[in-house]
Chain A
Amino acid sequence: MLDAVKNYLNSSVTPGEAGSQLWATVYIVAITLGVSVAVICMNWLERKILAHMQIRLGPMRVGPHGLLQPIADALKLLIKEDIIPANADKVVFWSAPVVVTMTAFTTFLVVPFGRTHAVTDMNIGVLFMLGISSLGVLGIIMAGWSSNSHYPLMGSLRSSAQMVSYEIAMGLAIVCAVLMTSLQTGTGTLSMIGIVEAQSAQGTWFIFKFFPLGFVAFGVFAIAMIAETNRAPFDLPEAESELVAGFHTEYSGFRWSLFFLAEYSAMLAVSSIAVTLWLGGWLRPFANTLSGSAWDLAFSLIPALSFLAMGAGCFLGTIRMPKIIQMRVQTIGLGVFGALLALIGLTLLLPGVRERVQDIYWFVAKVACFMYLYIWYRGTFPRYRFDQLMKVGWKVLLPIGLAVLIATAVVGLRQELWAAIVGVLQ
């Protein structure tokens, strides 16, 4: 037993590559739990951050500063009455949320949180993620169809049309990044871990490669991924103030929460793709300019410091709670939560833990930045009308994606191209 743990800790490949079923299963369970916890955190964060942007407070009552609100929401959804519309296709109605959720979770099989911290490393990793998330579109159409009402049907058709259109732009941007992986070694790779290692070998994150080409490709992907996940400003299929309701209108209670889970998991998944392809995955910032063991040490302290800072923030909140007797339980709860965070922070200071947690922390931190951006966009922008949305996808992003792809190819192969031209001219 201890041998198994030692073998795992000393291995240099992912459990899938090592062929270890036990650890792969452990990873799958951990990732499922982790994504679920992340979705719960996203729920709270979205409500709080959006509220702060709207100069309000957000949830404050359920738990200190609303920290238990997502749990209350989950409980409420679980105990709601399960309504199935009459004449709905029951099998399809039941299976649509399952399809959407399962595809969203399956994409996390190849997401690398570190060199050894992925379930497995397929050599077609990125393609796998794109393909599985396209399957999610099927689930949306199934949901709209089985509701037996023409508003959800129209909404689901629109939603699926939007997702399919923006997948093209996403694909072009991804090919651009994959192109860049072949630059030094001569062979490109679709494997997620391979792409991050290519960035590490070439010494620069792909977002800064051939500036501004990498940046433009990243920009195209960043906009396309928002439309892919039906978030503002591309959330017309979900918007209540427009006439056609979304595909999940007829779903209530637990089934709706599955769609909700799937939406946030999809957001996490496409953000993971963006982070892996352009932002260097698990690599720490300034790995080349600020290199050396001193800088390594400094950067390895940052995870611990961030948790300690969060704990300090909780303590500050505890001190500033209203000092009345009704808030006693909440104040104590917030204090305990702050102590927990501080404890995690202290644990992360230990040398053994520090090294191993680095990769995971940087990956999660970068994905968290994307989540904040998602919420920020939702708070700021109005939404596009459907035809304008499609226009942006096909007439703006697609040409830019093509152009940046060709430009990257030309710039990346400039020596070979120049030699070929010279050879032809001679």
Chain B
Amino acid sequence: MSQPIDTSYLDLDTKDETFLDSTEMVLNMGPQHPSTHGVLRVILKLDGEKVLGTECVIGYLHRGVEKIGENRTYTMFNPYVDRMDYVAAVSNGLGYCETVEKLLSAEAPPRAQYIRVILTELCRISSHQVWLGTHALDIGAITPLFYAFRDREEILKIFEKYCGARLTTHAFRIGGCIYETYDGFEQDVKKFCTFFLPKLDEYEELLTTNRIWVTRTKNVGVLNPEDCIALGVTGPVLRASGVKWDLRKAQPYECYKDFDFEIPTGVNGDTYDRYLVRIAEMRQSVRILQQAVEAIPTGPIMAKVPKVIKPPVGEVYHSIEAPKGELGYFIVSDGSTQPYRVRVRPPSFVNLQALDKMVRGLLVADVVAVIGTLDIVLGEVDR
């Protein structure tokens, strides 16, 4: 099993008896680091260049979001959930609104569902673009970052036109959507799809067959399917290991049943497969977008939900397929206007626990690549 690391000099609760061997050293990849995607602290135990064990220290971005949830009404808490996974804010909002709707036994009308799906798929593409740019940057390719952010810019413009904010969108409300689609929404989304697919081919040309990229990412950070399931890893990491599990198909929510798309899976579960899976997911998202935009039904965009939301006593867990994995919300209601407990199951938090298993035996330079391939956002990990 895992070797305990000598952390006696740290101010942690767990102190263990083993001492460091004379050839081993402890290296601290501190909270301030260009490649840890946020304020993540990783303590590495090294033997020369090889990694023997890791310990992640998180909590540098803890803002008490779940505690805030206990002191706000259901409607008021909606803007706060955007701030957890700030890269893909729309999907956070979707998960929360759906959970409360499940608690209320309400359902958003079909038009609202289509709008939600379109925005969520755009958000998935934008989150994967951030992943692509930063992951390539960690491995040393400095240009895809800028190309990725250019595409993300188009998506953020659509968000801004729709709901008024680029990043912390607060796009959905409990019961549906409050913003009606603006004139030209469908054209903008279609234009984006035609603009984006050739760009994706460009990124593939730049990276997928590039021998340097392949040698850096093949067989690095391998995670076999049994370990994935045992650790609770979800999202593209799970699918790259070969497990065909996507909540959009396994437990369909919103109107995903109406669309025809595939779930890309990988074979080896290494970094290269995770890269391929995410690129393929972006293509499938474009496919969903193209289908959805043709078929938006007319009708109301808000269900009959009371103005002051007072759900019946009970608890509910609902999860959606966020770009990073399974994002789950567990809400306990005690019958009042404020929830008793809001617990968020962030995908990055659970995926980060696989880091230790993935970097055993790798070199220090690969740790950075593996953290990048897990696609973590510290806002989600720490909440």
Contacts and interface: CB of A to CB of B under 8 A. Distances in A.
The short answer to whether A and B are in direct contact, CB under 8 Å, is yes
A191 to B, nearest CB: 37
Nearest to A387: B363
B263 interface: no
A201 interface: no
A383 B140 contact: yes
A235 B365 CA distance: 13
Interface string A229-257: 00011011001111110000000000000
B141 A382 contact: yes
B326 interface: no
Contacts of A243: 27, 29, 364-365, 367-368
Contacts of A328: none
Nearest to B29: A243
Given A244-B364, A381-B141, A56 B29 contact: no
Contacts of A240: 34
Interface residues of B, number: 30
A232 B363 contact: no
Contacts, number: 70
Contacts of A382: 136, 139-141, 207, 210, 212-213, 216
A384 B212 contact: yes
B168 interface: no
Contact of B139 (A244, A378, A383): A383
B146 A232 contact: no
A384 B216 contact: yes
Given A236-B365, A243-B364, A53 B143 contact: yes
A241 B212 contact: no
Nearest to A385: B365
A384 B139 CA distance: 8
Contacts of A385: 215-216, 363, 365-366
A383 B141 CA distance: 7
Nearest to B366: A385
Nearest to B27: A243
B16 to A, nearest CB: 25
Given A56-B146, A241-B34, A388 B215 contact: yes
Nearest to B146: A54
B92 interface: no
A240 B145 CA distance: 16
- The majority secondary structure among interface residues of chain B is helix
Interface string A367-388: 0000000000011111111111
Most chain B CB within 10 A, of A232, A242, A244, is at: A242
A243 B365 CA distance: 7
A55 interface: yes
Given A243-B365, A243-B368, A384 B142 contact: no
Contacts of A239: 140
B138 interface: yes
Nearest to A388: B215
A296 to B, nearest CB: 42
B368 A233 contact: no
Contacts of B213: 382
A385 B141 CA distance: 13
B157 interface: no
A391 B366 CA distance: 17
B192 interface: no
Contacts of A233: 140, 212
B364 A381 contact: no
B216 A380 contact: no
A223 to B, nearest CB: 12
B147 interface: yes
B38 to A, nearest CB: 14
Interface centre among A233, A241, A382, A387 (most CB of B within 10 A): A382
A380 B143 contact: yes
A383 B212 contact: yes
B150 interface: yes
B309 interface: no
Given A384-B212, A384-B216, A385-B365, A241 B146 contact: no
Interface in A344-388: 378-388
Contacts of B78: none
B20 interface: no
B275 to A, nearest CB: 12
B338 interface: no
Name the residue among B137, B139, B147 with the largest chain A CB count within 10 angstroms. Answer: B139
Interface in B123-153: 136-143, 145-147, 150
Contacts of B366: 385
B365 A242 contact: yes
A206 B225 CA distance: 55
B365 A55 contact: no
Given A54-B143, A381-B141, A241 B210 contact: no
Contacts of A232: 140
Contacts of B207: 382
Given A55-B147, A380-B143, A382-B210, A241 B363 contact: no
A222 to B, nearest CB: 16
A382 B142 CA distance: 7
A401 B34 CA distance: 38
B229 interface: no
Contacts of A378: 142
Interface of B: 27, 29, 34-35, 49, 136-143, 145-147, 150, 206-207, 210, 212-213, 215-216, 363-368
8 contacts: A54-B142, A242-B368, A379-B143, A382-B136, A382-B139, A382-B213, A384-B216, A385-B363
Interface of A: 50, 53-56, 232-233, 235-236, 239-244, 378-388
Given A54-B142, A384-B212, 15 more contacts: A55-B147, A240-B34, A241-B137, A241-B140, A242-B368, A243-B29, A243-B365, A380-B143, A381-B141, A382-B212, A382-B213, A383-B140, A384-B215, A385-B365, A386-B363
Ordered nearest first, which 8 A-B pairs have the shortest CB separation? A383-B140, A382-B140, A382-B141, A54-B146, A382-B139, A241-B35, A385-B365, A241-B34
